[in-house]
């Protein structure tokens, strides 16, 4: 019995260590921490942007997949999360498996992955990445693709609309 308890504690400690190490490694590589978006803001975004089952939704920096799962649930849209490997991506892939979600999760640098199939791209990233997001979207996305960016605008593009979310964040809508 004592060995079983010690084994459970060891597994728990290793899990916590894995989470801490991967989160720190991702932060050191990207300088962007994991910050979730509230469900009420996601519902608001889906309605305002008009995301439908005909869209292919990408979340760049998808973290634990909350946005991807919410958009899939609310709209039936094909959804893809792009995130560096780590505990959040492992959690998203486990949740996908357990729930039977059709969403796709791709590990790696989202700038190295093509965005050409996306009709809507969502991102909550820091200001120093916004010019790269604009360059990538202009290079990869088809005309009419919508970019929805939370809190930090892309200064090199003119946004079509902006609004305050129910939890007081600013969303910016760009159309390529």
Residue carrying the six token digits 């604009």: 134
Q: What is the pLDDT along the chain (176 residues), one digit of tens a residue?
A: 788 777 766 676 666 666 666 666 656 555 565 667 889 999 999 999 999 999 999 999 898 999 999 999 999 999 999 987 677 778 889 999 999 999 999 988 889 999 999 999 999 988 888 999 999 999 999 999 999 999 999 999 999 999 999 999 999 999 99
From residue 92, give the alpha-carbon distance in Å to each of 67, 101, 130: 10, 10, 25
Alpha helices in 31-118 (DSSP H): 39-49, 66-75, 87-99
Of 24, 73, 55, 168, the residue nearest 122 (C-alpha): 55
Q: What pLDDT score was predicted for residue 87?
A: 72
Q: What pLDDT score was predicted for residue 137?
A: 97
Strands in 20-169 per DSSP E? 56-60, 78-83, 104-107, 120-123, 146-150, 161-164
Of 12, 68, 6, the residue nearest 37 (C-alpha): 68
From residue 72, give the alpha-carbon distance in Å to each of 19, 46, 103: 26, 10, 7
């Amino acid at each position: 019995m004592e060995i079983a308890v010690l084994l459970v504690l060891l597994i728990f400690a290793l899990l916590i260590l894995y989470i801490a190490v991967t989160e720190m490694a991702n932060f050191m590589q990207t300088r962007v921490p994991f910050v979730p978006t509230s469900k009420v803001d996601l519902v608001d975004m889906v309605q305002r942007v008009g995301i439908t089952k005909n869209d292919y939704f990408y979340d760049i920096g998808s973290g634990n997949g909350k946005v991807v799962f919410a958009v899939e649930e609310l709209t039936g849209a094909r959804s893809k999360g792009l995130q560096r490997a780590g505990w959040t991506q492992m959690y998203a892939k486990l949740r996908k498996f357990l729930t039977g979600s059709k969403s796709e999760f791709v590990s790696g640098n989202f700038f190295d992955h093509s965005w050409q199939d996306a009709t809507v791209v969502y991102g909550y990233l820091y200001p120093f990445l916004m010019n790269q997001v604009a360059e990538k979207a202009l290079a990869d996305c088809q005309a009419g693709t919508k970019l929805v960016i939370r809190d930090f605008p892309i200064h090199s593009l003119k946004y079509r609309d902006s609004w305050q979310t129910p939890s007081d964040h600013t969303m910016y809508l760009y159309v390529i």
